[in-house]
Copies of this chain bind each other. A is one copy, B any other.
Amino acid sequence: MEFVAAPARLSTTDAQFEHDFAQRLHWSADTDAAIEQRVADILADVQKRGDAAVLDYTARFDGLQVSSMAALELSKQELKAAFEGLPTEQREALESAARRVRSYHEAQKKANGESWSYRDEDGTLLGQKVTPLDRVGIYVPGGKAAYPSSVLMNAIPAHVAGVEDIIMVVPTPQGVKNPLVLAAAYVAGVHRAFTIGGAQAVAALAYGTATIPKVDKITGPGNAYVASAKKRVFGLVGIDMIAGPSEILVLADGSTPPDWVAMDLFSQAEHDELAQSILLCPDAAYLDAVQREIDRLLPEMPRKAIIAKSLSDRGALILTRDMEEACALSNRIAPEHLEVSSRDPHRWEPLLKHAGAIFLGAYTSESLGDYCAGPNHVLPTSGTARFSSPLGVYDFQKRSSLIEVSEAGAQVLGKTAAVLAYGEGLQGHARAAEMRIKR
């Protein structure tokens, strides 16, 4: 069977552009009411019956029949054995990726994640204490889309933050375990791991059961059931974000070999038929050249069916007036991954306001960032980069304000506080402030 990858060709000077552009970008995060109801039922059942409910759902949904929860725990020995059983090059690649991800997140913690304080002129101390979460749960998808790199990207920032108890859950349909996932858990220093998944795993982590410890936050991607369950337990525990389909946007000035850019578009499209790959360039001939490379390279790709559908349904090659306009369009999209494939990427970077990760220059393929450059690959999708950030050490820390008002400070602040408190009709607040004022 022959596949054709035909991304839409758009031009910003077309009268129809705004309409076509909006149509390409459209993606509905609307949830399925049937899924919502099933998830609500599963959560309620796990909250009520604990381990017994988790065992039932695991048997039903994952085809995994075991007699006790203990059989669903992966021992440290098993994780270690998985690592040791890998071919040398996979072992080395995992370790090297983990090392780089760790250094990056250590730099992140040092730059933006340390406690701070100062004293004002009255000797009053003000600041914030930054502390790690006690215990977190990491959801790792299982089955056909099992990504060991996601284990590293979730567990390592938690480790760097100082979380002392990292619990991994990963479904293993029909009991089939992915050795790379187990090995990644070993390398990343996961503390406990269970072969459970779906809404029941989220429920177990959020409420706790006799076997699964209740966590403070749940991170990691999952299918619609997992996303719905995470959204429902949000508030009782923290969650990271609700991920939509993955996207790449490439801003090209035409200086990068077109086959590199074609492959970068493939690397997004191959994830999923709903994934989105968009190329913006002010040079029509370059767009033609990339389309030729798409046509040439597609037949070689094992995942060509997915790539062809994703590019044809959701992809676009867009001709812009200039690079400035391309940057402005990129800000409207707020893409998860943004490649600035230009000879002069630092000229454009300051114009780019909203993106999960910005990949600068022709050598920075998104795939290097996905695996081992160091930054996190868990990134805001579907335009949420407008208000949210890559997963990071900060997701595994929280802050407590520190205030120590000096006796002198209380004299001044007490008057201000009392005026405002009386203004709000809160006399207890006012009196508490006034009591600290010397008569």
Q: A89-B419, A267-B432, A301-B428 are in contact. List 11 more A-B contacts (CB 8 A).
A: A90-B419, A112-B130, A131-B353, A257-B435, A260-B435, A263-B428, A266-B432, A270-B428, A355-B400, A358-B403, A375-B401
Cross-interface CB contact of A357 among B242, B353, B401, B413, cutoff 8 Å: B401
A417 to B421, CA, bound (A): 59
Task: Please state if A406 and B363 are interface contacts (CB–CB under 8 Å).
Answer: yes
Whether the Cβ atoms of B358 and A266 lie closer than 8 Å is no
Say whether chain A's binding surface is mostly helix, strand, loop, or mixed. mixed
By a beta-carbon cutoff of 8 Å, the part of chain A in contact with chain B is: 29, 89-90, 92-94, 96-97, 100, 103-104, 107-108, 111-114, 116, 118, 120, 124-131, 133-134, 146-149, 180, 216-217, 231, 234-238, 241-242, 257, 259-260, 263-264, 266-271, 301-303, 307, 338, 345, 349, 352-376, 379-380, 384-390, 392, 394, 398-407, 409-410, 413-417, 419-421, 423-433, 435-436
- Asked if B427 and A384 make an inter-chain contact with CB atoms under 8 angstroms apart, the answer reads no
- C-alpha spacing A355/B128, complex, angstroms: 11
- Count identical subunits in the complex: 2
Assess the B416–A96 pair: CB atoms within 8 A: yes
CA distance A235 to B243 in the complex (A): 9
Chain B residues in 8 Å Cβ range of A410: 363-365, 368
| Bound CA–CA A126/B107 (angstroms) | 10
* A92 and B420 alpha carbons, distance in the complex (Å): 10
Q: 5 closest A-B pairs (Cβ-Cβ)? A: A111-B116, A238-B387, A360-B404, A266-B428, A93-B419
Chain B residues positioned under 8 Å from A264 (CB to CB) = 432
Output the nearest chain B residue to A430 by Cβ-Cβ distance: B367
Residue of B nearest to A261 (CB): B432
Contacts of A436 in B (CB 8 A): 260, 362-363, 365, 368
- Which residues of B have CB within 8 Å of A407? 363
